[in-house]
Amino acid sequence: MLLNVVQSIAPDNYVAFTFFIGYIAMLAASVFFFVERNSVSDKWKMSLLVSGLITGIAAVHYYYMRDYNLVTGDSPTFFRYVDWILTVPLMCVEFYLLTRLAGATKSLLWKLIFASTWMLVCGYIGEAFNVDGSTSHSVTWGVLSTLGYLYILHSVWMGEVAGLADSSGSEVVKKGVRYLAWFVLVGWAIYPVGYMCMDGGWLNGIFEASTLDIWYNIADAINKIGFGLVVYTIAISESKKELAK
């Protein structure tokens, strides 16, 4: 708060600028998802609540990340991971909510939450505790983290989540889950690529660490707001169908 009052963004500081824009966009998206809960049937209100929570939690973190970055000039790695560890499991909750009517179980939900938490905890250890820029540290934890990522990818493309979406009997849910699976495959892949560009990573030196934040900020906006909008579209279409009955 205090820092926020005295700092302003230099015109050529694109990193800070994307933190700022990210904050506004996440905030606006939350307002949108919360207000739009009124436009969907009861069954879908929880999905929109979760969409709004994802962008809302991100907005709070962007607020702090922007300040942190302005004051220190560093990447706000800690805030970034706190944000992810809260929001990525919530994205897994969205998959559960979308396939619940087709029979998704609590055990599926917990497996997805566990896999995402595993992915992020291992990633954090790999990134934050790599004091001497060691390649073996970076690669070991990166590979461990990727196991969690692969589990989620498998589940949403050809595993339990995909199977449930197929058997849901709704084209909207089936297509929607497929869209979300694309987010996981392409949008989420930006983060491990960024990770590999850091000290000790296989792609180190390709991007400046400072420009990495720009990529992460863009990726976050797509992955959180875009993801939420797909969920919103599914919820609206399904609610209309229910009304038409």
Ligand X SMILES: *C/C=C(C)/C=C/C=C(C)/C=C/C1=C(C)CCCC1(C)C
Does the protein bind ligand X through residue 23 (CB under 6 A)? no
For residue 54, the one-letter residue type is: I
Check residue 191 for interaction with ligand X (CB under 6 A).
Answer: yes
Asked if 145 touches ligand X (CB under 6 A), the answer is: yes
Query: Count residues contacting ligand X (CB under 6 A)?
Result: 17
Considering only 119, 156, 173, 225, the residue that binds ligand X (CB under 6 A) is 119
Task: Please tell me the distance from the alpha carbon of residue 176 to that of residue 95, in angstroms, as a whole number.
Answer: 10
Binding mask 42-81 for ligand X (x = CB under 6 A): ----------------------------------------
Using the minimum distance from each CB to ligand X, give the nearer residue, 110 or 202.
Answer: 202
Q: Does 188 engage in binding with ligand X (CB under 6 A)?
A: yes
> Taking CB under 6 A as the rule, does residue 94 contact ligand X?
no
- Amino acid identity of 223? N
**What is the dihedral angle through the alpha carbons of 197, 202, 205, 210, rounded to the nearest 10 degrees?**
10
Residue (7 or 146) nearer to ligand X, CB: 146
* Helices 209-220 and 190-197, packing angle to 10 deg: 170
∠ at Cα 36 (240, 175), nearest 5°?
A: 50
**Residue choice 23, 62, 79, 149 for contact with ligand X (CB under 6 A):** 149
| Contact flag: residue 223 with ligand X (CB under 6 A) | yes
Residue 88 interacts with ligand X (CB under 6 A): yes or no? yes
Residue 36 engages ligand X in binding (rule: CB under 6 A): no
Closest CB 14 distance from ligand X, rounded Å: 20
Helices 209-220 and 14-36 pack at an angle, to 10 degrees, of 10
Total Cβ atoms within 10 A of residue 218: 15
- Tell the burial category of 22 from Cβ atoms under 10 Å away from its Cβ (0-12, 13-18, 19+): buried
Binding status of residue 33 toward ligand X by CB under 6 A: no
In the bound state, the residue with its beta carbon closest to ligand X is 123
> Helices in the chain by DSSP H: which ranges?
2-6, 14-36, 42-72, 77-100, 106-128, 135-157, 160-166, 171-182, 190-197, 209-220, 227-244
Retrieve residue 115's tokens. 């896999």
- What is the closest distance, in whole angstroms, from the C-beta atom of residue 47 to ligand X in the complex? 17
Task: Give residues in contact with ligand X (CB under 6 A).
Answer: 84, 87-88, 119-120, 123, 142, 145-146, 149, 188, 191-192, 195, 220, 223-224
